[in-house]
DNA sequence: CTGAAAGCGCTAACAT
DNA sequence: ATGTTAGCGCTTTCAG
């Protein structure tokens, strides 16, 4: 490993000058600086971030802790975060917490141990993790899911989107909707359920038909099976995310039920494949990429600007995109 | 920030003892050790990895550098890597290089600067990055794409899979296939093209009809449009990944062409949505998760075992899954 | 079994 | 403008 002192010797100067020249923020004689850069290049010098970080007591690294890497929504968010981070000189690494408080804790520990410059996280349910970050003085912004903590956050209007989707189903003429949503521990899952119930309430429908499952394909499959095996099965479904939807589709196919003909279907998240399903799926679309850029923007401000500024909560709207799966055959 | 010396004071001992007690690898008096642990807990001590890493000159961190986070294949790989890494005490963070040599270079720099314990990477095209890692003494294993470098790698048999897919198309009775693949710079893209051409050769078909595009939805769309606008358009398509496939589907839908009826279609990668498309898509399936676990296993061995052991190249087989999109209507 | 002290590579006072 | 040096928090000899 070639280090500063080696470069200094090669360039015939001191480590301090080399450090200054290479970080080209201090005034150092242009000719000398050039000699230093040449020496560094010749020796193939690479700064040791570990040492630098220890000395500076700060890094240029963000951790983006998401709850499930296999959900397309989060990968779009990640893109947004990344693009913005890059512009401001931060590197961002992704951590997959997998809807698991334990794994999430591991990554939070990693963030404080590595002295991350900031963290963007879609928290599962354990708010103590967020507090740990705050205690360690690491700026945090929540994404996708808010918490009661006084922290910056960027979320989509899950409740409103769910309500709109359900109302659409009802307007189409479907009469016995059901809601398949994520685990009680995930804020988005309950918000979407609440929005669904808001719509039922407005329509004076008493029967709720709500089922909570993990946000997985398997969860969607078993939820659908359970619902359809009831005495009075639902005639339509509001599904709270794309993974669940895949499971719903699977179970429907198994039973020979066709969305839009035999059963109404609206889903949260506009997955890229939604338009090509048979029939095309009606969805509630979230501005995932923009959520990422906004969260990153908030983090940048929090880091450089006012550490003590009041927390900001950004809530972005959702769009209902009607395709065929939600259309009632009688109309 | 509470540090070792604080814990030492609280426990009435020295930093050395605290360090030993907390890393519980040295022989230290059980009673004292207990007192130290209590003090650490009371003060909420968290080790500073930056300092530890600087001293140890090593970390427990892996970087997984993938070429596109939005491709489901890579997210499955990531799961596999992660699960295995965890078992061996490593934390893994994901880096999205986005099929961009520049971004890839940034993350490679990050790996050496942060002294990563190991790197798993699906290289784009620039083998100098790999060399940089090797020069820095960081164990590397390639995934998805091999290179000529003497490094461990885990890949799928892209060429064989592509050949099988194309032969299947031909056996079905399609006569004028075309191939939509990724950029020339991606090894998988050319391997799949080669497999496609192998099949044509065996069938004595001279017209190649190959188009290279970025591995994106937009790439698939424009490729399809270009192909269909030719004088003698193809009657069937072999598509080299899932993102491209989405674009193909889009363009086909726009033109009112139905796969399996108007045009044959087989794709690489068994995306979770493939069975639910109208009609269900025939695919070549790669064992993504297993590729991840195998790569991680290789890395563990490389780190702990023989640094100088000869490189191992693992090639996993692929499966052709026939659904409806590839079936010829005349049969 | 425990403590004192050196030093990982770098940056930032401080001195010149 | 440049050099000298202390020290970031930790681990690990080396003494005791």
Span B197-242, pLDDT tens digits = 999 999 999 999 999 999 999 999 999 999 999 999 999 999 999 9
* Contact across the interface for B278 and A275, Cβ inside 8 Å: no
- Contact list, B48 vs chain A (CB under 8 Å): 54, 113, 115
Element (H, E) at A25: none
**Protein residue nearest nucleotide C8, by CA to C1':** B55
> Sign of the CA dihedral A120, A126, A127, A132?
negative
Distance (Å, rounded) from C-alpha A247 to C-alpha B135? Answer: 47
Sequence-distant (≥ 6) Cβ neighbours of residue A293 within 8 angstroms: A80, A81, A83, A84
Segment B198-205 long-range contacts (CB within 8 Å, at least 24 positions apart): B198/B159, B198/B162, B198/B163, B198/B166, B199/B162, B199/B163, B199/B164, B199/B166, B199/B167, B199/B170, B200/B166, B202/B167, B203/B167, B203/B170, B205/B170, B205/B177
Proximity of residue A34 CB to strand D below 7 A: no
**Protein residue nearest nucleotide C6, by CA to C1':** B55
- Write out the two tokens for A203: 């329509």
Proximity of residue B201 CB to strand D below 7 A: no
Total-model pTM? 0.91
- Give residue-wise pLDDT tens across range B260-293: 999 999 999 999 999 989 889 999 999 999 999 9
Residue contacts between A and B (CB atoms, under 8 Å): 122
Proximity of residue B52 CB to strand D below 7 A: yes
- A55 CA from C11 C1′ (Å): 6
Q: Would you state the pLDDT for residue A308?
A: 82
More confidently predicted of B166 and B128 = B166
> Which strand C bases fall within 7 angstroms of a protein CB?
1-5, 7-13
* Range 3-22, chain A: CB under 7 Å to any strand D atom: 13-17, 20
Q: In this model, does residue B331 exceed pLDDT 70?
A: no
- Give residue-wise pLDDT tens across range B18-63: 999 998 776 889 899 999 999 999 999 999 999 999 999 999 999 9
**Protein residue nearest nucleotide D6, by CA to C1':** A55
Domains of chain A, earliest start first: 4-47 (1.10.260.40), 56-156+288-317 (3.40.50.2300), 158-286+320-326 (3.40.50.2300)
More confidently predicted of B70 and A176 = A176
> Which strand D bases fall within 7 angstroms of a protein CB?
1-5, 7-13
In this prediction, residue B320 has a pLDDT band, given cuts at 50, 70 and 90, of very high
Distance (Å, rounded) from C-alpha A2 to C-alpha A44? Answer: 7
Q: Which residues, given as ranges, of chain A have pLDDT below 70?
A: 26, 331
Q: Would you state the pLDDT for residue A331?
A: 66
Rg (CA), chain A: 25
Decide: B220 and B180 in contact? Cβ < 8 Å.
Answer: yes
Overall residue count recorded for chain B in this entry? 331
* Bond before A279 cis per omega within 30 degrees: yes
- Contact list, A91 vs chain B (CB under 8 Å): 106-107, 110
């Amino acid at each position: 490993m070639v280090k500063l002192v080696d470069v200094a010797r090669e360039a015939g100067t001191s480590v301090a000058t080399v450090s200054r020249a290479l970080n080209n923020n201090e005034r150092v004689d242009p000719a000398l600086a050039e000699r230093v850069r040449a020496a560094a290049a010749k020796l193939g010098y690479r700064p040791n971030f570990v040492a630098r970080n220890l000395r500076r007591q700060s890094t240029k690294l963000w951790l983006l802790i998401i709850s499930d890497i296999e959900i397309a929504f989060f990968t779009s968010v990640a893109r947004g975060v990344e693009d913005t981070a890059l512009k401001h000189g931060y590197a961002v690494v992704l951590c997959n917490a997998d809807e698991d408080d334990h794994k999430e804790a591991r990554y939070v520990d990693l963030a404080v141990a590595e002295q991350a410059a900031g963290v963007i996280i879609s928290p599962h349910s354990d708010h103590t993790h967020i507090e740990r970050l705050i205690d360690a003085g690491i700026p945090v912004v929540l994404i996708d899911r808010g918490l009661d903590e006084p922290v910056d956050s960027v979320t989509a209007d899950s409740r409103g989107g769910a309500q709109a989707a359900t109302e659409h189903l009802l307007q189409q003429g479907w009469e016995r909707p059901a809601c398949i949503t994520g685990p009680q521990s995930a804020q988005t899952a309950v918000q979407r359920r609440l929005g669904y119930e808001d719509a039922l309430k407005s329509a004076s429908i008493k029967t709720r038909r709500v089922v909570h499952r993990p946000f997985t394909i398997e969860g969607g499959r078993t939820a659908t099976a359970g619902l359809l095996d009831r005495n009075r099965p639902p005639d339509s479904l509001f599904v709270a995310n794309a993974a669940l939807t895949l499971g719903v589709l699977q179970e429907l196919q198994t039973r020979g039920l066709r969305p839009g003909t035999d059963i109404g279907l609206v889903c949260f998240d506009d997955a890229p494949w939604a338009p090509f399903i048979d029939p095309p799926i009606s969805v509630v679309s979230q501005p995932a990429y923009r959520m990422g850029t906004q969260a990153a923007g908030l983090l940048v401000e929090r880091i450089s600007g006012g550490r003590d500024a009041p927390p900001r909560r950004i809530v972005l709207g959702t769009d209902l995109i009607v395709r065929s799966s939600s259309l009632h055959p009688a109309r």
